[in-house]
Chains A and B, each alone.
Chain A
Amino acid sequence: MKVIQFVKQNTELVASALALALFIGVALLGEAFTPYTIKDKPGEPLQAPSDEFPLGTDHVGRCNLTVLIHGAKISLRIGICSGVITVLLLGVPIGFLSGYLGGRVDEALMLFTDLFMSIPRIPFIIVIAGLLSPSTLNTIIVIGITTWPSVARMIRSETFRIKKSGYVDASVGFGAGELHLFIWHFLPTLTPLLFSSLLMVTGSAIMTEAGLAFLGIGDPTTHSWGMSIRLLINRPTSYMTKAWMWRLLPQILAISGLLLALASLGNSIEKISGVSRSGKYE
Chain B
Amino acid sequence: MRKLVRYLFTFFTVTTIVFFLPRGMSGDPFDYLSDNPTGDVHIVLTPEQKQALREYYGLDDPLLVQYSSYISRLARFDLGVSIYYKQSVNRLIASRLPWTLLLVLSGSILSIFASVLLGVNSAWRKNQVFDRIILGLSLVVSRIPSFMVAVGLIIWLSGTYGIPFGGAYTPYAEYTGFLDYIGDVLIHLFLPVSAFFVSTVSDYYLVVRNGMIDSLEKPFILTAQAKGLHNRRIKYMHAFRASLLPFTTYVFTRLGFLIGGVIFIESVFAYPGVGSLISEAVINRDYPLMEGLFFFLSLTVILSNLSADQLYQWIDPRVNQ
A118-B7, A120-B301 known; A215 vs B143 contact (CB < 8 Å): no
- List chain B residues, Cβ under 8 A from A119: 14, 298, 301
Question: Is B98 interfacial (CB 8 A cutoff)?
Answer: no
Query: Which residues of B in the span 1-17 have a Cβ within 8 Å of any Cβ on A?
Result: 6-7, 9-10, 13-14
A240-B159, A255-B144, A263-B143 known; A127 vs B294 contact (CB < 8 Å): yes
Digitize B169-192: 1 where CB-to-A-CB distance is under 8 Å, 0 elsewhere: 000000000000000000000000
Digitize B124-154: 1 where CB-to-A-CB distance is under 8 Å, 0 elsewhere: 0000000000000001100111111001101
- List chain B residues, Cβ under 8 A from A130: 279, 282-283
- Separation in Å of the B83 CB from the closest CB of chain A? 15
Query: Which residues of A in the span 192-218 have a Cβ within 8 Å of any Cβ on B?
Result: 203, 207, 210-211, 214-215, 217
A210-B145, A211-B264, A229-B148 known; A114 vs B10 contact (CB < 8 Å): yes
- Separation in Å of the A47 CB from the closest CB of chain B? 19
Q: Is the CB of B152 within 8 A of A118?
A: no
Alpha-carbon gap, A248 to B260, bound state (A): 26
Question: Is B167 interfacial (CB 8 A cutoff)?
Answer: no
Q: Is the CB of A118 within 8 A of B144?
A: no
Q: Is the CB of B148 within 8 A of A248?
A: yes
Most chain B CB within 10 A, of A120, A124, A214, A226, is at A120
Alpha-carbon gap, A66 to B298, bound state (A): 41
Question: Is A239 interfacial (CB 8 A cutoff)?
Answer: yes
- Separation in Å of the B98 CB from the closest CB of chain A? 19
Q: Is the CB of B13 within 8 A of A115?
A: yes
Q: Is the CB of B151 within 8 A of A233?
A: yes
Alpha-carbon gap, A161 to B145, bound state (A): 35
Q: Is the CB of B6 within 8 A of A256?
A: no
Contact partner, B18, options A121, A127, A226, A264, Cβ 8 Å = A127
Q: Is the CB of B260 within 8 A of A120?
A: yes
- Separation in Å of the A71 CB from the closest CB of chain B? 13
- List chain B residues, Cβ under 8 A from A111: 6, 9
Digitize B214-237: 1 where CB-to-A-CB distance is under 8 Å, 0 elsewhere: 000000000000000000000000
Query: Which residues of A in the span 237-282 have a Cβ within 8 Å of any Cβ on B?
Result: 239-240, 244, 248, 251-252, 255-256, 259-260, 263-264
Question: Is A131 interfacial (CB 8 A cutoff)?
Answer: yes
- List chain A residues, Cβ under 8 A from B151: 229, 232-233, 244, 248
- List chain B residues, Cβ under 8 A from A187: none
Q: Is the CB of B148 within 8 A of A120?
A: no
Alpha-carbon gap, A214 to B144, bound state (A): 14
Q: Would you call the interface of chain B mostly helix, strand, loop, or mixed?
A: helix
Digitize A212-235: 1 where CB-to-B-CB distance is under 8 Å, 0 elsewhere: 001101000000001001001100
- List chain A residues, Cβ under 8 A from B305: 118
- List chain A residues, Cβ under 8 A from B302: 118
Interface size on A, residues (CB 8 A): 39
Q: Which residue of A lies closest to B293 (CB)?
A: A123
Q: Which residue of A lies closest to B149 (CB)?
A: A252
- List chain B residues, Cβ under 8 A from A22: none
Q: Is the CB of A252 within 8 A of B278?
A: no
- Separation in Å of the A218 CB from the closest CB of chain B? 13
Alpha-carbon gap, A114 to B10, bound state (A): 8
- Separation in Å of the A135 CB from the closest CB of chain B? 14
Query: Which residues of A in the span 101-134 have a Cβ within 8 Å of any Cβ on B?
Result: 111, 114-115, 118-124, 126-128, 130-132
- Separation in Å of the B270 CB from the closest CB of chain A? 11
Alpha-carbon gap, A217 to B264, bound state (A): 12
Alpha-carbon gap, A131 to B268, bound state (A): 22
Q: Is the CB of B298 within 8 A of A132?
A: no
- Separation in Å of the A188 CB from the closest CB of chain B? 27
Alpha-carbon gap, A252 to B300, bound state (A): 32
A120-B297, A248-B152, A251-B148 known; A263 vs B21 contact (CB < 8 Å): no
- List chain B residues, Cβ under 8 A from A240: 159
- Separation in Å of the B310 CB from the closest CB of chain A? 16
Question: Is B109 interfacial (CB 8 A cutoff)?
Answer: no
Question: Is B106 interfacial (CB 8 A cutoff)?
Answer: no
Alpha-carbon gap, A211 to B149, bound state (A): 12
Q: Is the CB of B263 within 8 A of A122?
A: yes
A122-B257, A127-B294, A244-B152 known; A255 vs B263 contact (CB < 8 Å): no
Query: Which residues of B in the span 228-270 have a Cβ within 8 Å of any Cβ on A?
Result: 256-257, 259-261, 263-264, 267-268
Leading 5 A-B pairs by shortest Cβ distance: A130-B282, A259-B143, A123-B260, A256-B143, A120-B297
Q: What are 22 residue pairs bridging A and B, where the CB atoms are less than 8 Å apart in the complex?
A: A118-B14, A119-B14, A120-B256, A122-B261, A123-B275, A124-B294, A127-B22, A127-B282, A131-B25, A131-B282, A207-B145, A210-B148, A211-B145, A215-B264, A233-B154, A239-B158, A244-B151, A244-B155, A252-B152, A256-B140, A263-B139, A264-B139
17 further A-B contacts with Cβ under 8 Å, apart from A122-B261, A124-B294, are: A115-B9, A118-B10, A118-B14, A118-B302, A120-B259, A120-B260, A120-B297, A122-B263, A127-B18, A128-B21, A229-B148, A233-B268, A239-B154, A248-B151, A252-B148, A252-B152, A263-B139
Residues in chain A within 8 A of chain B (CB atoms)? 111, 114-115, 118-124, 126-128, 130-132, 203, 207, 210-211, 214-215, 217, 226, 229, 232-233, 239-240, 244, 248, 251-252, 255-256, 259-260, 263-264
Residues in chain B within 8 A of chain A (CB atoms)? 6-7, 9-10, 13-14, 18, 21-22, 25, 139-140, 143-148, 151-152, 154-155, 158-159, 256-257, 259-261, 263-264, 267-268, 275, 278-279, 282-283, 285, 290, 293-294, 297-298, 300-302, 305
